[in-house]
Amino acid sequence: MTHYFDYAATTPLDPRVFEAMTPYMTEHFGNPNSLHAIGRDAFRALETARESIAAAIGAQPEEIVFTSGGTEADNAALLSTLWRIAPEGGAHIITSAYEHPAVLEVVEWLGKQGHEGTFVAPCKDGFVHAEDVAAAMRPDTRLVSIIMANNEIGTVNDIAAIAALAREGGALMHTDAVQALGKIAVNVDELGVDMLSLSAHKIYGPRGIGALYLRRGTRFDPLIKGGGQESRKRSGTQNVAGAVGFAQALELVEAERSKESPRLAALRDRIVEQVTTRLENTRATVCEGVRLPNIAPLLIYGVEGEAMLLQLDNAGFSVSTGSACSSGSLAASHVLLAIGVPQEIAHGSLRISLGRWTTEKDCDALVDALVPVVERLRAMSPVYEKMFCATDE
C-alpha cells in the first residue's frame, strides 16, 4: 500500500464529492446555456455551486468566474486586468520571488511585453513583508500579486496588510489562495483583495476546475473569448459536474476545518520533531510565524532530494522535493533560493504534505523509512562528512 504525503500537489477526490458530481455527468448532462428543461436543470446546479463557493469566501455569486483551475485563474487575474488598464504597456507590477509559476512566469512574460515587474524577496523565515512591498510601490504600480500561502514551504502572508497598501497606491490586488483554501480562513473582504485564485483539486475536489474571484466593477478583458459564458468573462461551455464537485468539496473542507487543521498541524510538527532529532544536520526549512498546518518542509543536508524521493517511493511513500512543477528538473527550487537557503543545502529539500487520510501511524512509518534512506545516502556520499560534519581536532 502506498502512503501518500503529497497532498499539496493534488488530493484524491473525496467519495462524497464524487457522489455529488456523477448525476451531472449522466442524467443531468445539459448545457447550462440551453433554454430547455435539461439545460435549465444544469444551469440551476451551476448557479447553486457558484452561490455556495461565493458564500464560503465572503463574495457575491456574480463575482465568481469558473476557470479550468488555479493556473488559468492566475493568468486571467494578471493578463485580463492589465489588458484593460494598460493596453499599451508601461505598467509596473509587484509580485514576489517565490510565487507559483502560474504567476511568476506571467509577470516575467509581461516584462517582455512592455510592462515592468518587481519581484519582492521574502525574508529568510518565508514571508513577504508589507514594508518590502511598500518600498517597491511606485506611482505607476497598477497591480500587486502576492501568494497567500506558499505551496512549497507553507508560510502564510499578511495579505490584508499588503492589499491595504496596494489600494492606497491605486493598484489592484490579487492573491493566489490555492493552497490556503480549506486550511485557513479565506475571506475576500477581510483580505481586501480585488482578485483571488482558487482550485478544486487541492481540496479533495476534481482536477480541471477552479475559480477567479473578481471584485464587482473590476475592469477585465477575457482571456478566453468565444460564446460569452460566465458573464462574458470566460467563454466555453461550463464544467457543471466540476463546479458541483468544487462546491461540495469546499463545503466539506470548511465544515471540517476547525477540527482538521489542528490535527494536521500536530502531525506536521511530529514529523519535523522526529526527523530533526533522529537525523543530525537536518532542519525545518521554516519554523516561525503563521504556516499552513499540512506542509512539513525539511532540509536534509548532504543528500539530493530526488534521491530520497525515489528511495522513499520504492518503499511505498510518495513525497515531493518541492513544487510538483519543479520536480523533474535538477535546478534548486526558486522558492528555497528566494528565502536565502544556500544552493548546496537547497538540493536536500523534502516537502511532506498531509491531508484528510493521513494518520499518525503513517507519519511514524514515513520517518522510520526516511532515517535509513538518509543514512545510506550519506554513507555513499563522497562529500557529506567533509562538508557537514565538523571534526573535533
Ligand X SMILES: *Cc1c(COP(=O)(O)O)cnc(C)c1O
* Helix, strand or coil, per DSSP, at residue 237: coil
CB-nearer residue toward ligand X: 281 or 320: 320
For residues 92 and 201, which CB has a smaller minimum distance to ligand X in the complex? 201
Min separation Cβ 101 and ligand X, Å: 8
Minimal CA–CA distance to 156: which of 144, 171, 146, 165?
146
Nearest to ligand X of 10, 274 (CB atom): 10
Nearer to ligand X, 69 or 169 (CB): 69
Cβ contact 154:322 at 8 Å: no
Phi, psi values for residue 349, rounded to 5°? -95, 140
- Which of 156/279 has CB closer to ligand X? 156
Q: Does 92 bind ligand X (CB under 6 A)?
A: no
Using the rule CB under 6 A, give the single segment among 57-65, 171-179, 247-255, 291-299 that binds ligand X. Answer: 171-179
Interface region with ligand X, contact rule CB under 6 A, candidates 44-52, 153-161, 195-203, 334-342: 195-203
Distance CA 97, CA 132 (A): 12
Q: How far apart are CB 391 and ligand X at their closest, in Å?
A: 42
Cell matching residue 344:
548546496
Residue selected from 52, 155, 179, 353 as contacting ligand X according to rule CB under 6 A: 179
Q: Stretches 11-19, 65-73, 291-299, 335-343: which one binds ligand X (CB under 6 A)?
A: 65-73
Cβ-based nearer residue to ligand X, 137 or 338: 338
| Least distance (Å) between residue 72 CB and ligand X | 7
Q: Is 71 in the site for ligand X (CB under 6 A)?
A: yes
**Quick check: 308 and 300 in contact, CB under 8 A?**
yes
Q: Does 322 bind ligand X (CB under 6 A)?
A: no
Q: CA 316, CA 365: separation in Å to the nearest integer?
A: 10
With binding defined as CB under 6 A, does residue 205 bind ligand X?
A: no
Q: Which residues are catalytic?
A: 325
Q: How far is 160 from 173, CA to CA, in rounded Å?
A: 10
Q: At closest approach, how far in Å is the CB of 114 from ligand X?
A: 26
Q: Which of 181, 179, 185, 201 is nearest to 21 (CA)?
A: 201
Exactly one of 30, 117, 126, 210 binds ligand X (CB under 6 A); which one? Answer: 210
Rounded least distance, CB 180 to ligand X, Å: 8
State in angstroms the smallest separation of the CB of 292 from ligand X: 11
Stretch that binds ligand X, among 14-22, 64-72, 133-141, 286-294 (CB under 6 A): 64-72
> Dihedral angle at the C-alpha atoms of 250, 256, 257, 259, nearest 10 degrees?
-170
Minimum CB–partner distance for residue 265 and ligand X (Å): 19
**Alpha carbon of residue 231 to chain centroid:** 26
Q: Give the whole-angstrom CA distance, residue 330 versus residue 308.
A: 14
Residue bearing cell 514515513:
366
Phi and psi angles of residue 213, each rounded to the nearest 5 degrees, phi first? -80, 125
Residue 229 CB coordination number (10 Å): 20
Q: How many helices (H) and strands (E) does the chain have?
A: 14, 12
Determine, following the binding rule CB under 6 A, whether residue 176 of this chain makes contact with ligand X: yes
**Does 183 interact with ligand X (rule: CB under 6 A)?**
no
DSSP result, 198-253: EESTTTTS-TT-EEEEE-TT-----SS-SS-HHHHTS-S---HHHHHHHHHHHHHH
User: Does 202 interact with ligand X (rule: CB under 6 A)?
Assistant: yes
* 199 forms part of the interface with ligand X (CB under 6 A): yes
For residue 349, give the amino acid letter. Answer: S
Q: Are the beta carbons of 43 and 242 closer than 8 angstroms?
A: no
Choice from 3, 100, 174, 334 touching ligand X (CB under 6 A): 100
Choose the stretch contacting ligand X; rule: CB under 6 A; options: 125-133, 198-206, 214-222, 277-285: 198-206
Residue of 11, 118, 145, 151 that binds ligand X (CB under 6 A)? 151
What is the closest distance, in whole angstroms, from the C-beta atom of residue 275 to ligand X in the complex? 23
C-alpha cell at position 75: 493568468
> Is residue 81 part of the contact set for ligand X (CB under 6 A)?
no
Per DSSP, what are the bridge partners of residue 282? 300
105 to 96, 155, 193, 255, 375: CA distances (angstroms): 12, 21, 21, 35, 37
Assign residue 208 a region (left: φ > 0; alpha: ψ between -120 and 50; beta: otherwise). left
> Residues interacting with ligand X, by CB under 6 A?
69-71, 74, 100, 102, 147, 151, 176, 178-179, 199, 201-202, 210
